[in-house]
Structure 1
Amino acid sequence: MKKLMSYLMYAGLFLVALNFTSCQEEFEELPGEDSQEAISASSSTANLIEQTSSKDGSYDNIVDGASCFAINFPYVVNVNGLEVNIDAVEDLKLIKSIFAEVEVDDDILEIIFPVTITLSDYTEIQVNSRAELQELAQECREGGDDDDIECIDFVYPLVVYSFDLNLQQTGNITVNSDMELRRYFKELDDDDLLSFDFPITLELYDDTKISVSNNAELANAIESAKDACDEDDDNDYHDDDFTQERLEAYLVSCPWLVNEVFRASVDNTDQYFDYVMNFTEDGKVVMKDRIGNSLTGTWSTRVNDYRVLLKLEFEALADFNLEWFVYDLENGKIKLYAGEGERIIMHKACDIVDNEPDTLREILKECSWVIKKVKLNGDDVDRLLGYEFNFHAEGVVTLSNESNISEGEWAITTNAQGRLVMAITMGDEPGVSFEWLLSDLRDKRLKFNIEDSQYELILERVCDDNSDDDDVAEIRNIMMGGEWLVAKYTEGDNDETQNYAAFTFAFQAQLSVSVTTGETGPSYPGLWRIIRDSEGELKCYLNFGLATAMQVLMDDWKIVSATTDRIELKMVNENSVEILVFEKK
């Protein structure tokens, strides 16, 4: 440790400066080859140090909408009807995932009060209501202009020395974190004098480390770095702080499916839904419609005010011609916006393949295909949920629920517009006997629809019944390991658990599930299936045919969690979120 000099010989000169200078200098630098100049606790240098060591409250803006404080873990929030435990920073991603599952702008998040918050100076306050929280939030300065400095950090531990007015050292303290340093400064009086044991190290936002040898260098380093990065202090929690380079690499990595288009607050989604955009490294972008027609345009990116912008230009696609801010870039999704009522949402679709008859024929024959959805004349045919197609050579196709197998014929043709058509003829199952017009061709999912989805068929590929997927096998074994009861079933705010309290579920081999309601009550046989779908999510299919009492539970449920005695399933619909929980009997 470097020993500090007493500087007694300079005390008189220093005191004269304190008493007669109307505006104190930014740095109270003293001469000397090995000088460790002291600063006052009210100096601009000390203020920069305090701002650098302040607590950053922007990481949980998705919850509290304020960067000048953060809510202490653990706490509970209600997100679109789902109760979520927030025990760590990672749990905040769950909120974002729930928001992303339904493409609406009126997501609802409610904090379960009381909660404790930590202010920028690490003071803790209990907050008992939303009104109290909003009042505190109004004190924040949003838009990247709050007090804390996040683009540079101290590397700990640090040793801080204190001095009297004669510049004699009066003590020292070792600090090991921002919180300790900030609290130390909070206890100082304005005229207290202090300095550090130099040199000290700081780390910039890009992981670069720098060393400073005195307070003047320290102040210059902080001042130079404080505006060098995007602190993400606004309440747009979707932007993810990605770089221009990451966006460009992401765009060219795979095709992109258009899922939502709003221009001038007009919903044009139906016009462009499932159009495919292919970005190339030479700045060209090819847009293909559902028929297979294509248009070529250009794309470019730039950075403005720490935000990445994507510019699209087409001759005949005015709804896309704009310079868009990119505000989401994760989980296979890109969201673009250009102001109120102007947005585009696209999903990554790496498995989209060539739109050729032979390609589709070969894909169909490679694996089994599970029915995710069938719609005829606008009505869902739920009784076929989870049934399995197998497309064989010589135009033979089978449809099975393990206990029953139907056989028919299949063929791939093209219509007058050159679009692919899958024709199925199966005499004893009219629900699938149709000429299905292909709208989305991927190697893991196929989608067919006609007349604006009045007739729709969606298939998920299942190879070897997912036998090589450890998660699928484990969940199957858990569910076949005993009988299960419905511990919870809610639809939005409605708790309907009692309607299923008497049901006992037994998941058996060969996709068979049996539901009983006591020794003398009715029983309901059905089909169950665990697969990992084309989006990588684990799904539990439940199908009880035409049994009216079980219709509500028939769906392809997302598996939220699975243990030996508890399984939680979730279904997000346009108007509500359903939760189904099984517990071991």
Structure 2
Amino acid sequence: MKPNFKYLFVLAFITLFFVSCQDEETEINNPTPDEVVESNSSLADLMRSTAAFDGSFDNILDNANCIGVNLPVTVTVNNTTIVIETLDDLELVEDIFNAFDDDEDILEFLFPITITLNDYTEVVVENEEELDAFVNNCVNEPDVIECVDFVYPIVFSIYNSNFQVIDTVEIQSDFELYVFLENLDSDEGAVLASLNFPVSLIYANGDSVEVTSNQELENAINNAEEDCNYVACQAEEIAANLQECQWVITSFNGDDNFIQYDLHFNTNGELQITHGDTTEFIGGEWSVTTEENVVLTLSNLTAFSGDLGGDWLVQNCESNQLVLTQEFENQIVEVIMEQDCETAETPFNCFENTTITACDYDNDGFATFEMETQVLGNVVCNVDFVASFHVSQTNAEANVNAIVAPNAYTNTSNPQTIYLRVEAINGDFQVFEIELVVEDCSSNCSETDVDAYLQGCNWNVVNFNGDDHLINYNLDFTSSTEAIITGNGITTTMYWSSYQAAEGVVVEFSNVAAPNIQAITGSWLVVACEEGRLEFESLNSANTMVMECHYYTPEELLTTLSECQWEVYSFQVDNVDQTSDYNDVLFSFFENDFAIAEVGESTVNYGNIEAENTNEGTELSVLFAMTGETHSLGGYYSVISITEDEVTFYTSQPRRLILRKTCTNDNQDDDTTQIKDWLYDGNWEVTYSTMESADNSQDYDGIVFNFQNNATFLGDNGSWIAELDYEVLRDHEGNLRFIINYLGQFPYWQMDDDWYITSVTSTRIELHAVNDANNSDFVLVFEKM
């Protein structure tokens, strides 16, 4: 199938280069063939290969030098989903691949993805088949020269058909150079161009060269291509090579001292030096470090420390040879070591002292160890050997009383040391210590306990493999089979179940269809259990997870909501998305439960949001009541998620409302602040009021009003005090508004309305009802007492 893809070319690129800035033509001599860079010349091909996009940086993802995967990209590596956002994140893929030596490494992309080809074309790839087609085509792609780079900027002179200079083009990058060379022979005719020398190149080994002609440039690139195998010495690679096989000293300062001494660099940092067929060895330690240069340090040698010990500078490194130097008494000593993987090795380099663990699920201090699996199963050794486990070093050295069933061994103490005898085919042997440690894996929880805990609270993954990158996701286990995941702008439903196994309670998560949090998919053993906290170990991988529950409170909700304004990010009723009906709604909430919704340019709705803890404090229930256009958003909800930027409400209907913070706060200005300051300063009374043009001022006789700074004002008639909600704001049309919310006792309910402020001073505020700001049907006047 031919893949669908989208090309991104900078079509006007060469045209922009060729805009002439000269008013008069300058006569020059015709450029010679040696000076012109022709589109199909060998020099142009070499320059194009040098400037082409090099896709080898991410071969761990696509196994192809001719393409690169654009970041960010989501991949699943051995059943673990991760997001690759930077080149440094490629180490995560390598770490997962290297976690186990005996597994099959599988990487899958979350399509669609975008890739970049050698010619800088960007292509959208929809599936694995399309990607395979591009990877397979790599064998037909021209080679990219990776070991030499131009030092930018470089400059071309451009000639017209009369060999007159019409412009100069400055090139700043490989991309610009590649596009320029591709357009030397365009549909509008061939372009005559020559390089302005000198031009500098830099090689992969750090050397640089300056060339002054086309021929010198071609030679320099060809010379670099022949030496592309140069590799700078890297500490990590040297350390890995040292551990692959034994190394033989082939030269020690030009004489035969230490010739044919074998050095074994063990993975635990121990060094063993042997000579000939002896089974005795010289012990020590080794390490590789790097600052300005790579240094191999040999320390704590039991012999020859004056000759071989110390810090050796790595002068030259190949996979099978190292040249080392060290200064002794003002003399430079050189040692040459060569890797020897063919000599009949001993198996002892394959082993080291180690510790293994086993779980104690009934907390009695004993556990069953599978020593053959846990110790021998992790050893990769190309040399034949015979291994046996013993309870004492004496028995191991004498090769007696071996443990009969080492793969079903129960410890006798905690910890306990077992002795592993490794015997080579020639009869040589070494004994290694294996420490057995019993871990308390009892969770003290039944399946019923775990289910009750999960369904009784909102949960967050506070620790996944040692970090908290999943903590912003909230998990609400709404039933015995489903849980709602919210956070990071998503809301989705996953499935879960639990069962009692011999090891303990196992919880399974499936259909986790959201980025990052997908990592919890699979079967998890509950290893620690208490109300409000669960610890898990994966049965599918080496992952660990800690979940903690959070009981939301009314104070937490109102404090969060009162920080800024909020928009309707999502509103779904019976799985029907109605969010677009509320695109122009902006809410303001106050800690006294008062709520205002600005709808469009001039409409203001108001109401309340009342919250309380129910179900013995484990659930936060909310009554959300609004007037006007936002009335249908109201209802009874459960709060299933509160984050810094989002609050999620849910009902079993189902209705799901997500509010997202937007800190515009553009309904407040200097005027609204001044009016509130006047209101706070002293007591007020109603001196004039009309309803339907009828004067009802006497209804407020003797009532003293006091405006608080928490969106509450009090009405005191001498016998009881009423609490009313209020807010002063400026709407999007520039009008000052005074919102009063109260549905209680007479006469205060008469004030409940959305008012225009038509006149205001420090001692008098006149309000007109919003239904018609230009008549006197509804008027309310406050004056300071």
The interval holding the TM-score normalised by the smaller chain is: 0.3 to 0.5
Higher Cα radius of gyration = 2
How high is the TM-score relative to the length of structure 1? 0.48
